Structure 1
Amino acid sequence: MSVIVELTIPSAAFELGRILRVKGATQLTLETMVPLGGKPTPFVRIRNDARETFERSVREHPSVNEINLVNTHDDESLYALNWEPSDSSLLRRILDLDAALLGATATADTWGLELRFPTHAALSTFQDYYLEEDIEVSIERIYNLTKPDAGPWYGLTGPQRETLTYAVETGYYSLPRQISTQELASTFDISDQAVTERLRRGISTLVLNTLLIDEKED
């Protein structure tokens, strides 16, 4: 099962971050990574008021062969970076694990990356790598993809989503329980049995459309 990870990392902690350093409050966005000529080519978007210093800084980096302006739109410019990533770079490790870079934004000090790993095992290998290399990575969020045809809200109906959300928020699943089944049922003007069944079906739907995707496909 694919797993998506959102993380932050210091700009100086990985090669691409050191190359694409920005100054001040300017934000840089990595639009995509395209494999051209056997190597990943970053397409980077930055505000025009930072273009001059950005271009100069990138061109001076020894790993960069060329930086090309692709287009400008409104107050932003898009660049393609021709560079030589080292075999030991964090980005190379990510690509070797068949992970996809879904998005990235950078400030002067940090990068926020959104990565999709093909399996949890690949993610675990990546975590072993950055811990062993003593790279400071902060995991913000990890989540699985849902079943493609599940629709919005992981396949839950409106009443199921509303009831489950209210049950969690009011402590129905807390220990000790903060709201009774009768009180929960009264809130939605249904019977005790109906609210219990609605919760059961909602939880079952959530599990089937998230945790059990691989088992169902097999």
Structure 2
Amino acid sequence: MSVIAEVRISPDDFELGQILDLDEASAIELETLVPSGDVTVPLFWVYEPVENQFLDTVRRYPTVNSVTEVDVFDDRTLFRLDWDASQDHLFRCILDNEGQILGATGTAEGWDFEIRFSHREALSQYWTCCEDAHISLEMISVYNPTDPGAGPWYGLSKPQREALTLAVRMGYYDIPRGCTTEELADELGISDQAVTERLRRAIGTFVRHALLTPETDA
């Protein structure tokens, strides 16, 4: 049975985290990763207006070939990054153990990765690989997406449960809305963008864990 792990990683512990310097961006979300030989081309969102200093920092990194704007909106910009990932031990550990990145978001608190492995032994091997590469991981949660009855919280981490519960209680999902993400952020003591990302990940985790069956998950 497959297993999904949510882990937090310091940006200093993997190369892409060093490239996408969070000192110059409020939040970053990986949209997709496209492996091609030793090159991995991700699309990633940068939230809030993008400063030139951020792009200059990315372009100066030795393994970066190019960074290109794809879409620009008022509150976020989508970029395409072409870089040599052969020295990024985090991604090598994921690929070597046939892991699939379901989502990754970087904020001032660190990078949160959601990774699917075919079985728990593969997750254990990934963990060992990261330890050998001196990558420090913080396990947030581990769950089986096709087993809704495993555990009382449907795979939700404590911060996800807190944010989702508060959003429902304050009427965020009501029509009309009873509150804004800014008000939720004030209650939780985190940024507006962090609230948005936490709610998005919480809903995705809940649906995968509570609603998907082996048939629908295939």
For residue 72 of structure 1, what is the amino acid of its counterpart?
Answer: V
Secondary structure class of the residue paired with 1:35: strand
Output the TM-score relative to the length of structure 1.
0.63
Deviation sequence 1:76-134 (CA, Å, 0-9, x none): 10001100012562112212221111111112451111101112111111111122233
Larger radius of gyration: 1
Q: Which residue of 1 aligns with 2:188?
A: none
Residue 142 of structure 1: how far off its partner (Å): 0.2
> 1:11–1:109: 8 Å Cα contact kept in structure 2?
no
Q: Which residue of structure 1 aligns with residue 128 of structure 2? A: 128
- 1:128 match: secondary structure: helix
> 1:38 offset after TM fit, Å?
5.9
Identity %: 37
Provide the residue aligned with 1:89 in structure 2: 89
Aligned partners of 2:92, 2:41: CA distance in 1, in Å? 12
Cα displacement (A) at 1:49: 2.0
- The alignment covers a number of residue pairs equal to 153
User: Where does residue 58 of structure 1 map in the other structure?
Assistant: 58
Amino acid at match of 1:43: L
Letter in 1 for 2:110: T
Give the SS at the match of 2:50.
Answer: helix
For the Cα contact (< 8 Å) 1:30–1:43, is it kept in 2? Answer: yes
Structure 1: runs of 5+ lacking an equivalent: 148-153, 156-160, 162-208, 214-218
Distance 1:109 1:58, change over 3 A: farther
Per the alignment, in what secondary structure is the counterpart of residue 124 of structure 1?
helix
Question: Secondary structure of the equivalent of 1:23?
Answer: helix
Structure 1 residue aligned with 2:42: 42
Residue type of the alignment partner of 1:49: P
Please state whether the residue corresponding to 2:140 is helix, strand or coil: strand
Give, in whole Å, the separation in 1 of the partners of 2:88 and 2:107.
Answer: 24
Q: 2:45 corresponds to which letter in structure 1?
A: R
Q: Distance in 2 between matches of 1:103 and 1:125?
A: 20
1:107 maps to a residue whose letter is T
Q: Structure 2 CA distance, aligned partners of 1:9 and 1:116? A: 16
- Kindly report which structure 2 residues correspond to 1:102-181, keeping only aligned pairs within 5 A, or say none: 102-108=102-108, 110-146=110-146, 154=148
Residue 73 of structure 1: aligned partner: 73
User: What is the Cα-based RMSD across aligned positions, in Å?
Assistant: 2.5
2-side partners of 1:54 and 1:102: how far apart? 25
- Contact 2:3 2:116 (C-alpha < 8 Å) held by counterparts: yes
Would the aligned equivalents of 1:21 and 1:108 in 2 still touch at CA under 8 Å? no
Aligned partners of 1:97, 1:23: CA distance in 2, in Å?
A: 31
Deviation at 1:36, TM superposition (A): 4.2
Paired position in structure 2 for 1:174: none
What's the offset of the Cα at 1:23?
Answer: 1.6
In the other structure, the counterpart of 1:193 is none
